[in-house]
Structures are given as structure tokens and as C-alpha cells.
Amino acid sequence: MDSVSPTRRSEIMGRVQSRNTKPEMLVRRLIYAMGYRYRLHARDLAGKPDLVFRSRHKVIFVHGCFWHRHSGCALARLPKSRQEFWLPKLEANRQRDTKNERSLQDANWSVLIVWECELNDVVKLKNRIKEFLDA
């Protein structure tokens, strides 16, 4: 059972953004501070990647663990109410992500997925991003 009213839940969900989320902004600031420059949300690329490095032919997606179903992550737990709604919706997100990633790789783009839960260890994340961008 949901702990808030349907009206309140609708308000909360209506505020969820697809761009400029807190995790995305943290990753953008980190990468900028590392000296890398990028473009945002390229509409001409599959999935509109969050960060695009055209000269390197690399893209980074910043995924929320809940919305993109991060496997084995505590943040990706299913809601207890309306599972008949949530299961297909979240599975469709996962399938779309896989399709977009495959499409980008087929077009010779390298793809890195940064998960929301990875923001807890900034040093490790920084090393992972540097390794990805410099390869």
C-alpha cells in the first residue's frame, strides 16, 4: 500500500525530470573539473545521451537506478503498489536503453553508463570516467 494519497503521488511523480537531474549534474561538474568538455543531450544520437564527446566518439548516460532497473542495486526496488503498471513500464525503459546502446555501438560510438549509486564513491567514479575517456 502506498503511504501517500494518489493525488500527492501524482504531484511527486510529475516533478521527476529527464534532464538536469541531481545525479547528472554531479557527473557533469566532476567531468568538467577533470578538464573534459562535452555537449549535452544530442538529439541526433540514439537515446539522447546525457554527455557527448564527439571528437572522441564517446557518450555517457547517467541512469537513475530505479528508473533504469540497475541489476542488484537496493535503489532499484519495485514499488509495492500498482506493480501491474510499474513492471511493464520499467522493463520497457530497460529494453529501450539496451536498444539505444546497441544502436550507438553499431554506429561506432563507445558508451559508458554511470549509475546513480556509483556517485557514492567519487574517486572510483573519477577513475572509471578517466579510463573510459582516455582509451
95-107 pLDDT tens trace: 999 999 999 999 9
Task: Tell me the mean pLDDT in the region 53-77.
Answer: 94
Distance of CA 58 to CAs 1, 2, 52, Å? 43, 41, 6
Q: How far is CA 94 from the centre of its chain?
A: 11
pLDDT recorded at residue 82: 82
Higher pLDDT, 82 or 40: 40
Instruction: State pLDDT tens for residues 22-47.
Output: 999 999 999 999 999 999 999 999 99
3-state secondary structure of 91: helix
Asked whether the predicted pLDDT for residue 53 surpasses 70, the reply is: yes
Specify the higher pLDDT residue, 4 or 77.
Answer: 77
User: Is the Cβ–Cβ distance between 22 and 115 less than 8 Å?
Assistant: no
Q: What pLDDT does residue 2 have? A: 65
pLDDT in the model for residue 4: 72
Q: How far apart are CA 86 and CA 12, in angstroms?
A: 16
| pLDDT confidence of residue 9 | 66
Q: Is CATH 3.40.960.10 what the domain over 6-134 is classified as, yes or no?
A: yes
Q: Mean pLDDT in the chain?
A: 91
